[in-house]
Chains A and B, each alone.
Chain A
Amino acid sequence: QQPVQSPQAVILREGEDAVINCSSSKALYSVHWYRQKHGEAPVFLMILLKGGEQKGHEKISASFNEKKQQSSLYLTASQLSYSGTYFCGNKAAGNKLTFGGGTRVLVKP
């Protein structure tokens, strides 16, 4: 089951904040976040394994609400390098990682 991401796209000025949401109608066993820049491979940002867990990667952090079957990614004080498409992924048993539709982020100077 593919997780649902929102918004589909966001445009920011450098230094602004943004939130990307990821939800699933089925249980989220663990949530993975990846960023893919144009023409490049997806790059791992973080994994959230437990309900309520929050992780951080530089000024990018995430939370995981197991009950609501939701995860949120927080881009704080965004930098130009944050531009790209962010994917959340729901990891089920058997090493099956299913990605959400993606959120395109553009950070402008």
Chain B
Amino acid sequence: DTEVTQTPKHLVMGMTNKKSLKCEQHMGHRAMYWYKQKAKKPPELMFVYSYEKLSINESVPSRFSPECPNSSLLNLHLHALQPEDSALYLCASSQGLAGMNTGELFFGEGSRLTVL
């Protein structure tokens, strides 16, 4: 199984809502990532988890809250978002360990978020 599965595929939420994005992989990868991608732009790194510990937070606003309950799951909790947060949110995983310059990223198909 070489898949990264993300749910939901589409999400519409109001600025006062609380919602979560979910990501799952069963490849035994120990690094997991959240990226944000706006239309016609590259994916921008938000968070990296390595061995279930947050290793990188790219100064993301606190209205985005990541969680890694176990090595296969990654969540992104959303609260009080702004319309400019509307984007495609991509989850990825890799086998590479922190500090090593290896590691193909396997991306999920993304969750397309619209904030009204």
Contact = CB atoms under 8 A, between A and B. Distances in A.
A and B interact: yes
User: What is the interface residue range for chain A against chain B?
Assistant: 20 to 34
Interface residues of B, number: 29
Contacts of A40: 109
Interface in A50-109: 87, 91, 93-102
Contacts, number: 67
B56, B99, B101, B110 — most chain A CB neighbours (10 Å): B101
A91 B42 CA distance: 15
B108 to A, nearest CB: 6
A37 B40 CA distance: 11
A30, A42, A47, A98 — most chain B CB neighbours (10 Å): A42
Contact of B101 (A29, A41, A44, A100): A29
A44 B105 contact: yes
A95 B48 contact: yes
A29 B98 CA distance: 14
Contact of B56 (A29, A34, A96, A100): A96
A12 interface: no
Given A94-B98, A95-B50, A41 B42 contact: no
12 contacts: A32-B104, A40-B109, A41-B90, A41-B108, A41-B109, A47-B104, A49-B102, A94-B98, A95-B33, A95-B99, A95-B100, A97-B45
